[in-house]
Structures are given as C-alpha cells and as structure tokens.
Chain A
Amino acid sequence: MTRVGWAVSDTWVVTRRYLSHLVYKPDELIGTLLIPVLAVLLFGFVFGETMGAAAGVDDYRDFLMPGLFALTMAFGIGNTTIAVVTDAGRGVIDRFRTLPMSPSALLAGRSLSDVISGVVDLVVLAGMGLLIGWRWHEGWLSALAALGLLLWLRLAFTWIGIYLGLVVRSPESAMKFFSLVFPLAMVADTFVPTSAMPGWLAPIAEWNPLSATVIAARDLFGSPGVVSDSWVAQNALLMALVWPLILLSVFVPLAVRRYRRAAR
C-alpha cells in the first residue's frame, strides 16, 4: 500500500475507534444533544413568542432551528477537547506517537468521527424540529446543502477542539474553556437577529463565523430572518464557505505541530 493509502487506512481505524465510543458509551452524545434539545423546548415554547415578536420575526420556531443546528456544531468543540485531553493524560497519545502509523491519522480520525457524530446530532435535532412545527420550504436539495454547510463548520470546529485538547492539561481545565462556547454561540445570529442587538455588538455578532452559516442555512431552508445590510450579512453564503476554510488553515497546522511535539 502507498503512503497515502496507509494514511487513509490509519485514519479510518482511528475513526472507527471513536465511533464505537458512541455505541458503547452513548452518554457523550446524549450530553452534547441535551443543551440544544432543551433549547428547542425552552426557546420554542417559553421565550419563543415574546422573542419572535420583539425581534420582528413571524415564525420564531422556523427562525430558531437553523440557529440551534449551528449552536450544536459549536458545542461539539467541548466533546472533542475533552476526548483529546483525556487521551493525552492517559498516555494513549504517546502510544499512538510511537506507532509506525501515519502521523496525522489520529487527529484526522478524531475529526472525521466528530463530523459523523455531528450528522447524528443534526438528525436528532431535525426530528425534534419537525415535531414542534419546523419545516424546510425550498426543497430537499437546498435543505441538504444547508446541512452540508453546518457540517463544514463542524469540521472546522473539531480542529479548534483538537488543538485546545492538546494545549490544556486536564479535562477540568478544558471544562473551564467550555464556557467560552456560550458567547461564541449566542453572540451570533442564533437566537435573535443581529439587528435586535446594541449597535456596538451587532458587527461582532455578524462577523462571528456562526452567523454566516446560520444566515446561509436559513436562506436555504427558506426560514424567516432579518438580514442586515452589512457586507458580511449580505454575503453569508460565501462567508459560510470561507470562514471554516480560514479556521481550518489556522488550526490544522497548529494542532498537527502540537501533536508532533507533544512534549508534556
């Protein structure tokens, strides 16, 4: 087998390792899904009508779902980080590093398995959404394209998670970082349109990578939304493709370098 062939094979072996965790220890997956599923119920029924009215959105649940999809993609960072830091602490990463395997396969495998678990997340959430009355209005292809954009963002986020997992020293300190995901997920076009935010905050929210994906996904689902006139909001589809690319080009090299040195 060629070098590339082995890299692919090694990556798949690692991916299968992590996917079996979903089967044998599903609490990780359930943990990630808990917050968005609760959010569907809380925001869909408790705050929904009020927030929708205040934000000027007719159907808040249709507006909310793309935001929750993206929120779940962002929460995935926590799982990735904790899985990587746990492996590092137990010396599992050291063992992988002394194997004659492809040096990028461990990280690529983790990333791939997280994207696959992202598919599971999206399917469960979409099911919840359909139950509370969310629909897509632009046909199957557009809906699939929207999910594709969300997974593209998830892919970029897994590499942030991998990098953090290699930097922090313990799962406990990883948990502290995790609270940073909340502003990332909320200061964006997720729960309220940026137009409803204070003037100084709106640009920050609009330039949040999450916003581009959410706005583009809303567009593809045919969900209602209030899109501002700013360049970044008007070019959401482009930015939903570009943002993850930028994140990947920063965090993949950082993570790989850190993994190869990994002198703890």
Chain B
Amino acid sequence: MITPTDPVILAEGVRKTYASRSRPSLDGFDLTVLPGTVHALLGPNGAGKTTAVRVMSTLTRFDEGRVRVAGHDVVAESRRVRERIGLTGQYAALDEVLSGRRNLEMFARLHHLRARAAKVRAAELLERFGLTDAAERPVRHYSGGMRRRLDLAASLILDPKVLFLDEPTTGLDPRSRAEVWRAVRDLVDRGTTVLLTTQYLEEADRLADAVSVVEAGRVIAEGSPEELKKRVGGSRVEVVLADPSQVEKAAEVLGRMCGSPLDVDPDTQTVRAPVGGRGSELAKVVRALDEAGLEVEDIALRRPSLDEVFLSLTGRRTGEET
C-alpha cells in the first residue's frame, strides 16, 4: 500500500535473541508507524513488546534487520535518533531522592538546555502535568500516578517526534490511568507520534489509531481497534431471564436492537447480543427489556478480553506454547 506520508517508525525483519534465552525475543518483527498517530503493540507478557521498544529506542542491539526512527537509522545514527525520541519505561525512571523539579531540571540539562532554559522548561512541564504543587517534594513521596506523570514529563523535555511508552498504565488505579490517557491524547494533538505497548485491549481501544498484535516476537495481526474488534467480536450483552417462556421474546427484542449474531441458549435462559462498549448502551437494553415486560434475572456487559483476541487470531489462549 502506498501512503501519502513517510512512516516515522519503520522496522523490517528484526531478529533478536538474548544470550541467556534459547528462543528469539524478536523473530522477524515488522512495523510501520505513521506520523501523528498512536500505535499500540498489544500482546501478552513475553511476546517481545518490550524488546521491540528497546530496539527502536536505541537501547538494545539486534542481530538482524533494519530499524529507522524519525528518519534515522537506530544503529548508525543512534545519537540523532536519541535527540528525537522520548522513552517512558515500565518503571518510573526517576531519581527518588531529588524533588520533581530537580529531576526535570537535571534531565533538561542533560538534553543540553542552558541552566535558565532548563528551569523554564521544568516549570512548564510541572504545570502541564499538574505537579506544580508537589514540585519541591522528593519523588519517593509521590503516588504511583504522580510518578508516571513526572516520568512522562521527563521524556518530553524537547518535544520528541516519537514517544515510546512501555506499558504506561500497568499497576495504576483507574483514575491515574485516565490521567495518563488524557496526557497521551494531548501529546498527539501537539504532533507527537506515540508508540505504546499494552496488555489491555481496552487501552489499545481507547488510545490507539492502529494496533499491532504481537506474539512470539512478531506481529500476527494489524489494524484499527475497530477492525480488530470486528474480527474478535466486540462487546456483548448477556441477559439471563427469570422465566424460560420469555427467552424467545427477549431474543426478538435484542435482535431488533442489536442485530446479529444473536446467541440464544434456552437451557440456561440466556440471550447474548453484540453491543457497543459503552454503559449507556447497556442502559438502553435494560429499558427496552423492561418496556417489553420481560423479567430479567441477571444482565451483564462482557468486553472481549485480550485472551479472546488471541483465541480468535491464533486459535489458542495467551501463554500457551505453540
């Protein structure tokens, strides 16, 4: 396919086997990321997502293949690549002893900003990430969400062209997770390309323009979240009826509202139907069933899990050996 813009990340046939492992971590990894997009690498633990990020961010040498980031080769021109990228790893890579402000000033200085400019930039970033009040506190007293935000700020000193986020919300509570998501969206609006890794289908769905599903060191499926969900089957509403005789009627109501495929199981008095992932659609279903005079024993919204994505793409569960 010919694209109107040059890819900002291009990886071709990357292979990498760590000396301590028998299986390759990357085994013919290909990736194309277009500028101004959020691209998610989705996959279970051990799929090779982190290795891929380390390779693309100049941290790890690889055995075979070619990787260009922001117009430069990551091996031959690693310094040029480093001037154009930011990396936020799985752990907040901060100095625990120093204050938030001192951390940012230090990283700004190491990005070769002058002392004055470093102070200004640190203050701007603290403000933008809502950390001004906590600026003088040592980072070891920060909450998990605050650390992640400061960590994100530290990788944005020079407004990188490409930002790598390795599992940016793992271990965060829902509120902090939403904060990080907002920050990422905000970045993309400012023109940064974001490559993130995640184990959560929901995260890829909420953030990403494009998703690459990674397994055993290579990309096994690619597309927009919508396309992937279509292949997997999106969220489904599951209705259990109190009265077996009402199952047919319920199927009719749900069929009219949600369309096919409809899954009717008279034995368990259950009807399953596809719906959008939002809670409001669930409410609509409840109202419709109520208006039809149906007595509902139980109702639930089931989102497809990462497991189901893998099951439908590969025919086996995550973590199962080939």
A residues in contact (CB < 8 Å) with B: 1, 6, 9-10, 13-14, 16-17, 20-21, 24-25, 90-92, 94-101, 105, 261-263
Contacts and interface: CB of A to CB of B under 8 A. Distances in A.
A169 to B, nearest CB: 11
A260 to B, nearest CB: 10
B83 interface: yes
Contacts of A100: 79, 82-83, 111-112
B61 A261 contact: yes
Nearest to A13: B109
Contacts of A16: 106
B111 A98 contact: no
A105 B61 CA distance: 21
Contacts of B57: 98
B110 to A, nearest CB: 4
Given A98-B59, A263-B18, A263-B60, A92 B111 contact: no
B109 to A, nearest CB: 5
Interface of B: 18, 54, 57-61, 79, 82-83, 85-87, 89-98, 102, 106-107, 109-112, 138, 154-155
Contact of B97 (A24, A101, A261): A24
- Which 7 A-B pairs rank lowest in CB-CB distance, beginning with the nearest? A95-B93, A91-B93, A91-B89, A101-B110, A100-B83, A13-B109, A91-B91
Contacts of A17: 95, 98, 106
A24 B102 CA distance: 12
Given A9-B112, A96-B110, 11 more contacts: A13-B106, A17-B106, A24-B98, A25-B97, A90-B96, A95-B93, A98-B82, A98-B86, A99-B82, A99-B111, A263-B61
A203 B109 CA distance: 49
Contact of A101 (B60, B87, B95, B111): B111
Nearest to B57: A98
B93 A10 contact: no
B154 A20 contact: no
A248 B310 CA distance: 52
A200 to B, nearest CB: 40
Nearest to A20: B98
Contact of A95 (B18, B79, B98, B154): B154
A14 B109 CA distance: 10
Nearest to B82: A100
A6 B198 CA distance: 37
A182 to B, nearest CB: 28
Nearest to A262: B59
A33 B79 CA distance: 40
Does more than half of chain B's interface fall in helix, strand or loop, or is it mixed? Answer: loop
A14 B155 CA distance: 17
A154 to B, nearest CB: 22
A1 B113 CA distance: 11
A62 B97 CA distance: 39
Contacts of B109: 9-10, 13
Contacts of A92: 93-95
A101 B107 CA distance: 10
A73 B87 CA distance: 37
Contacts of A13: 106, 109-110
A198 B93 CA distance: 50
B77 to A, nearest CB: 12
A59 to B, nearest CB: 42
B1 to A, nearest CB: 31
A29 to B, nearest CB: 13
Contacts of A14: 110
Contacts of B138: 24
A168 to B, nearest CB: 15
A17 to B, nearest CB: 6
B94 to A, nearest CB: 7
Contacts of B91: 90-91
Contacts of A25: 97
Nearest to A90: B91
A20 B94 CA distance: 14
A99 B107 contact: yes
A159 B112 CA distance: 26
12 contacts: A1-B112, A13-B109, A13-B110, A20-B102, A24-B98, A91-B91, A94-B89, A95-B107, A95-B155, A98-B58, A100-B111, A263-B18
